[in-house]
Amino acid sequence: MSYLKREAINREIGQSVIEKHHITRKKDGLEYIELKLLSFETGGEYLEKLTDLEVCVVVLEGRVSVYSKDNEYKNIGTRSKIFEKIPTDSVYFSSGKIFKIVAEEEAKVVFCYAPSDKELPTRLIRAKDNQVEYRGRYQNKRMVHNILDDQNIISDKLIVVEVYTDGGNWSSYPPHKHDENNLPKESFLEETYYHELNPKQGFVFQRVYTEDRQIDETMAVENENVVLVPKGYHPVSVPDGYDSYYLNIMAGPIKKWKFHNDKAHEWLIDRV
């Protein structure tokens, strides 16, 4: 299994719409997560009919309008660039829904999917609805935008968050994992990381490893790369001079984020 997915060869899938990534369960070996990244020129349109997947449509950059049979959400999206570091707008659709996206200006949109057979209400998740958190101390600081957390009832299985980490800091650190269905101590959630860097020529390092080291991969991750985390610990290191953004999709059999820290490094949490 390849854990690092670099930017795909751009594939035009509609008028003025380019597919940059398409992670699928069948092709990429995950059981609970799929991801699609589309880049729109002004006026670009995209139509999708969901079958056995729910989706959270996150407007990373630009403005779009989203249409379905019973809903219209016009001119949503709050940022011209991701590194404005403000929350953005998203739309949730449950399985079986049909929706269309029209770009009101150049835009970049990520589609976060998880398998589901539940019929739930379509929801606009406005930027102001995102819970903003600041986590960590010392060189372990990051800002989190919770779009869909494990406490909300909007989605069936999806958890979606954005994380900003300034240069010289670590993120998803101390290393933690959530790969055992052992509640209330730990939940099983697969995860994907969609990365961007500022400036764009930067890179971060991400390690994915398990206790037994059957998985132990350290990757130099560049702008618009995707990292798959089927299981294991998954810390990120951001070099000085470059800021990091990543969007996390998490999903599993139960929508609960309960993680387990790597005991070898847990002492970092309590240092004075």
Q: Please tell me the distance from the alpha carbon of residue 163 to that of residue 83, in angstroms, as a whole number.
A: 11
Q: Please tell me the distance from the alpha carbon of residue 163 to that of residue 87, in angstroms, as a whole number.
A: 10
| Rg of the Cα atoms in the chain | 18
* Architecture of the structural domain at 4-270: Sandwich (2.60)
Residue 120 scores a pLDDT above 70:
yes
Residue 154 scores a pLDDT above 90:
yes
Confidence at 197, pLDDT banded by 50, 70, 90? very high
Domain ranges (residues) in the chain: 4-270
For residues 219-245, give the mean pLDDT.
98
Identity of the amino acid at 31: E
Query: Can you spell out the DSSP letters for 71-109?
Result: -EEEEE---SSGGG-----EEEE-TT-EEEEEESSSEEE
Mean pLDDT (the chain, rounded): 96
pLDDT over 70 for what percent of the chain?
99
pLDDT of residue 193: 98
Q: Tell me the pTM.
A: 0.96
